[in-house]
């Protein structure tokens, strides 16, 4: 008997099958952004649960899917970035999915602001999914020296000291006059820290810079608003980490 050489596996066919299955799984989230369990994904796609488990593990590793509470899978950051690129091509505002992601991660309202004269103006906002919420309001104007967004825009200006000195005089914070030198010191501390935090006892706001695409001065600030009692200690650290990660993903997204 003449032995024949074993045929190599058809890796092309296997790869195509994996891509097709991954596509079917990802499409399940189009009408279920709140998340789906393994069982629900298997039922919707007709794939075996073990196959779904293996595919979802790979998608999580690639950042296309994230695993959250209740063992539910939901769209991940990398998928949002891909969606944002597609949104730009068809003229849809691409930043909102990133704000939605920040709201989901922190449980608080998320907003994006830009500088206009001596104010930070909120361009976009997504509301907290919780019953008790805090928010700025789209179009709201908040003084640069008083708001978390504003302090970030001052701190990451090309020349922070000059930006503070250019504010209309007298400089008022919390209803009281503030010395420019004192404010400069606080703004430089914000820059060293990498985020701004402002609380009036009832509402707390936190903001981080959105890096400019060309390494130029920061022109946008991303942050959250929450009842003060919910934004303390570890929750501040977690919010800063989430906001900073998403701000870097927003770097190349136009608003």
pLDDT, averaged across the chain: 86
> Could you give the CA distance from residue 26 to residue 20 in angstroms, rounded to a whole number?
10
Give pLDDT tens digits for 45-98. 999 999 999 999 999 988 899 887 778 998 887 887 776 666 555 434 678 899
d(C-alpha 244, C-alpha 194), whole Å: 9
Residues 6+ positions from 255 with CB-CB distance below 8 Å: 93, 94, 95, 112, 114, 123, 124, 220
| The Cα angle at residue 230 between residues 173 and 177, in degrees rounded to 5 | 5
Q: What local confidence, expressed as pLDDT, does residue 2 receive?
A: 43
Tell me how far apart the alpha carbons of residues 248 and 250 are, in angstroms, rounded to a whole number. Answer: 5
Which of 157, 159, 161, 151 lies closest to 217 in space, CA to CA?
A: 157
Query: Is residue 254 classed as helix, strand or coil in its secondary structure?
Result: coil
How confident is the model over 171-193, as a mean pLDDT?
90
pLDDT, one tens digit per residue, over 121-154 is 898 899 999 999 998 888 888 999 999 999 999 9
Say whether pLDDT at 214 is over 70.
no
Return the C-alpha torsion angle 222, 226, 228, 233, nearest 10.
Answer: -60
pLDDT-derived band at 5, boundaries 50, 70, 90: very low
**The dihedral sign for the CA sequence 186, 189, 190, 196:** negative
Q: How far is CA 158 from CA 63, 106, 211, 247, 250, in A?
A: 34, 30, 13, 19, 20
Residue 195: helix, strand or coil by DSSP?
A: coil
Q: What is the pLDDT of residue 138?
A: 85
Confidence of residue 13 (pLDDT cuts 50, 70, 90): low
- Terminal Cα-to-Cα distance of the chain (whole angstroms): 71
Q: Tell me the range of 7-11, 74-78, 93-97, 196-200 where mean pLDDT is highest.
A: 196-200
Note the pLDDT of residue 7: 47
**Per-residue confidence (pLDDT) for residue 82, from 0 to 100:** 76
Checking if the pLDDT of 155 tops 70, the result is yes
Across residues 148-170, what is the average pLDDT?
93
> Phi/psi zone of residue 139: left (φ > 0), alpha (ψ -120 to 50 degrees), beta?
left
Work out the average pLDDT over 219-231: 94
Residue 38 has pLDDT above 60, yes or no: yes
Cβ atoms 80, 98 nearer than 8 A: yes
Q: What is the pTM of this model?
A: 0.65
**CA pseudo-torsion sign 153, 154, 160, 166:** positive
Q: Give residue 126's Cα distance to chain centre.
A: 11
% residues pLDDT > 70 (the chain)? 89
Ordered by where they begin, the domains of the chain are 13-75 (1.10.10.10), 92-252 (3.30.450.40)
């Amino acid at each position: 008997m003449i032995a024949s050489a074993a045929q190599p596996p058809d890796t092309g066919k296997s790869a195509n099958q994996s891509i097709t299955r991954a596509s079917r799984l990802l499409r399940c989230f189009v009408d279920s952004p709140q998340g789906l369990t393994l069982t629900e994904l298997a039922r919707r796609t007709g794939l075996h649960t073990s196959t779904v488990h293996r595919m979802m593990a790979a998608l999580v590793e690639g950042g296309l899917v994230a695993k959250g509470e209740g063992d539910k899978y939901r769209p991940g950051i990398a998928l949002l970035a891909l969606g944002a690129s597609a949104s730009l091509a068809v003229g849809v505002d691409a930043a909102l999915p990133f704000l939605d992601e920040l709201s989901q991660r922190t449980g608080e309202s998320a907003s994006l602001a830009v500088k206009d004269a001596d104010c930070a103006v909120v361009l976009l906002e997504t509301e907290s999914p919780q019953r008790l919420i805090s928010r700025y309001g789209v179009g709201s104007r908040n003084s640069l020296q008083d708001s978390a967004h504003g302090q970030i825009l001052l701190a990451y200006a090309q020349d922070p000291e000059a930006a503070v000195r250019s504010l209309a005089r007298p400089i008022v914070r919390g209803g009281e006059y503030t010395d420019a030198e004192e404010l400069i010191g606080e703004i430089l501390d914000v820059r060293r820290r990498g985020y701004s935090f402002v609380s009036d006892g009832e509402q707390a706001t936190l903001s981080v810079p959105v890096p400019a695409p060309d390494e130029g001065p920061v022109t946008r600030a991303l942050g959250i608003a929450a009842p003060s009692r919910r934004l303390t200690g570890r929750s501040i650290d977690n919010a800063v980490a989430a906001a900073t990660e998403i701000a870097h993903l927003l770097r190349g997204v136009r608003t």
